[in-house]
A and B are shown apart, each in its own frame.
Chain A
Amino acid sequence: MHPTSINFKENAARALADPELQRALGNVKTGFIVKRSKARAALPEFDALRTASKDIKNHVIENLDLYLEEYEKKVIASGGFVHWARDAAEAREIIIKLCQAEGAKSVTKGKSMVSEEIGLNEALEAAGIEAVETDLGEYIIQLRHEAPSHIIAPAVHLNRSQIEDDFRAIHKDLPAGRDLSNVSELVGEARAILRDKFLKAAVGITGANFLIAETGSSVIVTNEGNGDLTQLLPRVHIVIASIEKVVPTLEDASTILRVLARSATGQEMSTYTTFSTGPRRDGDPDGPQAYHVVLLDNGRTEMLGTEFQDMLRCIRCGACLNHCPVYAAVGGHAYGWVYPGPMGAVLTPQLIGIHEGAHLPNASSFCGRCQSVCPMEIPLPKMMRHWRERDFQQKSAASFPKLALRGWAFFALRPKLYRLAAGIGTRVMAAVAGRRRRFSYLPLATSWTKYRDFPAPAPRSFQSLWQERERKMHRNV
């Protein structure tokens, strides 16, 4: 997917003026937030589990080389294959070759953000292999040739009637007069169509929420069961996962699972959590005959040892999106690439470059809700500030913010001059503002005054009031 993050401002303006999108986003503001808060309240250990989860991930990141080696050994011991991919292109190449070796014409896919990140579907289609997204939300956006707008609810930007129109346009073999006026009928139609795809696919591709070093297992978490049919029915199961997904033990995965669903959808536990280990065993009547894991770097190692290392703890629950006032206003597509919201504002500049992604860490009110709800306690606002610093450093000396700051610094380093200039400025502004003491129009600050008044400065500064007070006290002694 070609990123449009560089056009964030235009994307956001369009999103704010899109009535269908605004209606759909109303669902985010209510549903997720209330459900998470209830689930948290129902588990007194929730915050302690967050800290324990954070500690687990930090421990793994500090020993990532060794945990990857232990994990790899276990996958091989259970009869699976491990492939390493430095970047997106290498991962695509590995997966396509595996599919071609199997003679696969059609592959089913469980929902995977890493697969979106590496643009797998387009590459499969270009190689003549049909890629079928089976998560309902992913299926819908695939029909529309769109990217997901939310990392756990890919079609959250759409309304029922839009999806009905899409189904009628694409499922042409079904009777035109059929009733699709309820969500359950749309779900039923997708179920029937995808059931056929599940049974025909030669390869199933899933992501992984965790990789377990202790057992060599990959773990997926779903509510629909689509991920399970994807990895259970075809002859070959391919897992695509980034290297930071590994955790030491089943106990560690259990600890993080206790905060994952509660943070994401507000469920106590997602409906299906599945641990897959190698291919089918002797005597097994079902399960894949071959099991492959593609371990992807694609920028993760570059985050190690930097101020962005903490981001590698992210478990992709989506809580930061759900609680972000900017995300709630503009939705996920405005962010212009795969990862939206606060986690995307940190990850996107890393993965597509700060030049392309510079707007995203600025698309924040810095209210800090993202960090306060993050189950991994990731300091998202701090990391957005780091990106802003890097972006600023890279800007040319003639850019407006740099010139403005240099101008301010000139005065700030000369206190007498500063006080003189500020004194004149405030007196002029106070005089112009008059008794209303506010501006409804102010040159150079029109994007502020367009929505609210700008307060006029007090006629006298704190410093001058203080000096006068000191003088008076002196006289009275």
Chain B
Amino acid sequence: MSETVKGDARREIMGRVRERLGVRGDEVGRRGRVQSRIRNAVANIIPERAKVGKSERIKLFQSMLETSGAEVSRVRTYKALPEVIAALLRDNNLPSRVRIGDDPIFAAFRAEPGLVEILSGPAQGDDLVSVSRAFSAAAETGTMFLISGKDNPSTLNFLPENHIVIIAADDIAGAYEESWAKIRSDFGAGKMPRTVNLISGPSRTADIEQTIVMGAHGPRKLFVLIAGG
């Protein structure tokens, strides 16, 4: 496809939009209003359930995730992770081998190599277990925000059959909007990590006779560990 054809399609579609709307695109104030609406990114309606105190928020987060079929438990510190995860693997009859990214919270795994075998890099098609850290969460629907990069590669969220996600209790907010604010402050206004995954449970399908089955393509099991108090 030549550049001219491409340019023509764009010009023609834009022309039709403007003709139909009866606008030119250079009206005084119109573009400014659109750009300031984007720049200011004001929240609309936040559900009341998202506006609760910390302990209620964590309770809501946990119960929402459990309703979707995730298993949620607490862990006191990141240091305890290798031991807690080794026990979790044992209890679920899983091999003691996990894929993790470079996130600093996994330092304890590398310090104690005997407890759990570590795989690094992007996930492979036959991985059984991966561990990721969630960037933030919204209690309103038990939704965790995971962001791409070498610390927590996105393939870890989808390829392995079992996914363990660590979320700091302090990172559990009420509403989705709080995570966008956090992403803007970390990455800059108008910028996003390559991938932001909002995860609210294990993979599921209801495509056959509306029967819900877990583990359609992503993880069959989702374990969530809330770290700290």
| Chain A interface residues (CB < 8 Å from chain B) | 24, 27, 31-32, 43-45, 48-49, 52, 56, 59, 62-70, 74, 78, 83-86, 90, 93-94, 97, 134-137, 140, 153-156, 158-160, 163, 183-184, 186-188, 191, 194-196, 198-199, 213-217, 223-226, 228-229, 232-233, 243, 248-252, 254-255, 257-258, 265, 267-281, 283-287, 295, 297, 301-302, 304-305
Contacts and interface: CB of A to CB of B under 8 A. Distances in A.
Nearest to A184: B213
A250 B176 CA distance: 9
Contact of B208 (A68, A136, A223, A257): A136
A305 B21 contact: yes
B87 to A, nearest CB: 26
A224 B218 contact: yes
Range for the number of chain B residues in contact with chain A: 35 or more
B38 interface: yes
Given A223-B206, A249-B38, A272-B218, A215 B192 contact: yes
A97 B38 CA distance: 34
Given A136-B207, A275-B195, A248 B37 contact: yes
Given A65-B17, A183-B208, A304-B20, A269 B200 contact: yes
22 contacts: A24-B209, A31-B206, A44-B47, A78-B191, A83-B6, A94-B1, A155-B208, A158-B208, A187-B205, A198-B125, A198-B217, A214-B41, A223-B206, A224-B217, A228-B157, A233-B155, A251-B177, A258-B47, A267-B200, A277-B194, A280-B194, A285-B153
Nearest to B120: A285
B62 to A, nearest CB: 14
Contacts of A45: 45, 47-48
B124 to A, nearest CB: 9
Contacts of B33: 63
A271 B163 CA distance: 14
Nearest to B175: A254
A350 to B, nearest CB: 13
Interface in B79-107: 101
Interface string B22-51: 110100001101110110011111011100
Interface in B188-216: 190-211, 213, 215-216
A286 B155 contact: yes
A223 B216 contact: yes
B122 A286 contact: yes
Contact of A304 (B21, B123, B192, B196): B21
B213 A187 contact: yes
A249 B17 CA distance: 21
Contacts of A283: 149-150
Given A74-B190, A225-B216, A269-B141, A301 B20 contact: yes
Contacts of B21: 62, 64-65, 304-305
A195 B127 CA distance: 12
A304 B202 contact: no
Interface in B167-192: 175-177, 180, 183, 190-192
Given A83-B6, A277-B192, 17 more contacts: A32-B210, A43-B49, A84-B10, A153-B210, A160-B209, A195-B217, A214-B38, A228-B154, A229-B217, A232-B158, A248-B37, A249-B41, A272-B197, A272-B199, A273-B200, A284-B153, A305-B20
Contacts of B140: 268
B64 interface: yes
Contacts of A267: 68, 200
A271 B41 contact: no
Given A66-B30, A153-B207, A156-B210, A191 B190 contact: no
B59 to A, nearest CB: 15
Given A65-B23, A254-B176, A304-B17, A271 B208 contact: no
Given A68-B17, A225-B217, A257 B45 contact: no
B150 A217 contact: no
Nearest to B125: A199
Contacts of A216: 192
B125 to A, nearest CB: 5
B13 A86 contact: yes
Contact of A154 (B1, B49, B207): B207
Contact of A276 (B190, B194, B200, B210): B194
Contact of A187 (B142, B180, B197, B208): B208
Contact of B192 (A68, A217, A254): A217
Contacts of B158: 225, 228-229, 232
Contact of B200 (A86, A186, A271, A277): A271
The 6 residue pairs across chains A and B that have the minimum distance between CB atoms: A225-B218, A224-B216, A304-B20, A137-B207, A269-B141, A301-B16
Contact of B44 (A27, A213, A255, A271): A255
A90 B153 CA distance: 35
Nearest to A98: B1
A351 B193 CA distance: 36
Contacts of B149: 281, 283-284
Given A232-B158, A254-B176, A155 B207 contact: yes
Contacts of B16: 297, 301-302, 304
Given A156-B210, A254-B177, A272-B198, A187 B215 contact: yes
B9 interface: yes
Nearest to B197: A274
Given A63-B30, A163-B208, A228-B197, A84 B6 contact: yes
Given A184-B213, A229-B159, A65 B204 contact: no
B25 A191 contact: no
